[in-house]
Structure 1
Amino acid sequence: MAAVHGSCLCGGITVEIHGKPDTVMQCYCDHCQMNASAPFQIVAKYDKSQVIVQTGEDLVKHYIVTNTASGQPKHKVFCSSCGCTLWTIPMKYGDANRFVRVSLIEDGLKNLKPDQVLFGERKDT
């Protein structure tokens, strides 16, 4: 599979993603709802080595969420210029994975369809 590209809202951070994601998830957790200002977010789970920051490394910032369902913190990685969340790093997996926002990947919403639903019981809240 050819590499795909993505960026934050302002384009200050660009990424190159190699290979297919392990899974694509539609998440209804409270954090995803708040972060997206929507009922859910769609994220693709990649190995850390698959996601390469091409430009804007100096703009990459982390916000650590500690009140998580797993009890393990997760890092919200975002652009310090436009505030756009790029991916989440759930520390329950160590630093191994990147849960990338599908909407930030070129043709991501078209090509990456969810194969899992997380926190589906919160769908109608």
Structure 2
Amino acid sequence: MPAPYSGQCLCGGVALTVKSEPVTVLSCFCVHCSKGAGGCNQLIAKFATKDVEIQAEPGQISEYTFTDTSSGSPKEKAFCKTCGVPL
């Protein structure tokens, strides 16, 4: 399926459109991603920031920063404040 891509969270509070193909796609098996995905890994697609448009009311997106990462670098997770869907 070619770009553009679009989607929304379960409650519809956050919607997004991506105008390009992913820069990279990877699978992460770290403990944070495994727990967040509810399985053994999480699939991650990275896109150029300029190609991603997010529609949400102010305060609808919450963020959490992990500081206890195996790389030692902080990792941010964003999610819908209402339904909890990861972004």
TM-score (norm 1): 0.63
Q: Is the 8 A contact 2:16 2:52 kept in 1?
A: yes
Find the counterpart in structure 2 of residue 15 from structure 1.
16
Q: Is the 8 A contact 1:62 1:78 kept in 2?
A: yes
The unaligned stretches of length 5 or more in structure 2 are none
Q: Name the structure with the higher helix share.
A: 1
Q: SS of 2:78's equivalent?
A: strand
Alignment length, in residue pairs? 86
Whole-Å Cα distance in 2 between the matches of residues 46 and 69 of structure 1?
Answer: 23
Q: Which amino acid aligns with 1:44?
A: A
Structure 2 residue 66 is matched with structure 1 residue 61: no
Identity %: 38
Whole-Å Cα distance in 2 between the matches of residues 57 and 20 of structure 1?
Answer: 27
Whole-Å Cα distance in 1 between the matches of residues 7 and 44 of structure 2?
Answer: 13
Q: SS of 2:39's equivalent?
A: coil
Q: Which amino acid aligns with 2:72?
A: G
Higher relative contact order (CA 8 A, sep 6+): 1
The unaligned stretches of length 5 or more in structure 1 are 87-125
Whole-Å Cα distance in 1 between the matches of residues 56 and 81 of structure 2?
Answer: 13
Once the two structures are TM-superposed, the CA of residue 57 in structure 1 deviates from its matched residue by 4.5
Once the two structures are TM-superposed, the CA of residue 74 in structure 1 deviates from its matched residue by 1.3
Once the two structures are TM-superposed, the CA of residue 33 in structure 1 deviates from its matched residue by 0.6
Find the counterpart in structure 1 of residue 80 from structure 2.
79
Q: CA RMSD in A?
A: 1.5
Deviations 1:3-55 (A, max 9, x none): 21011121210001110111111211111111011111111011222221023
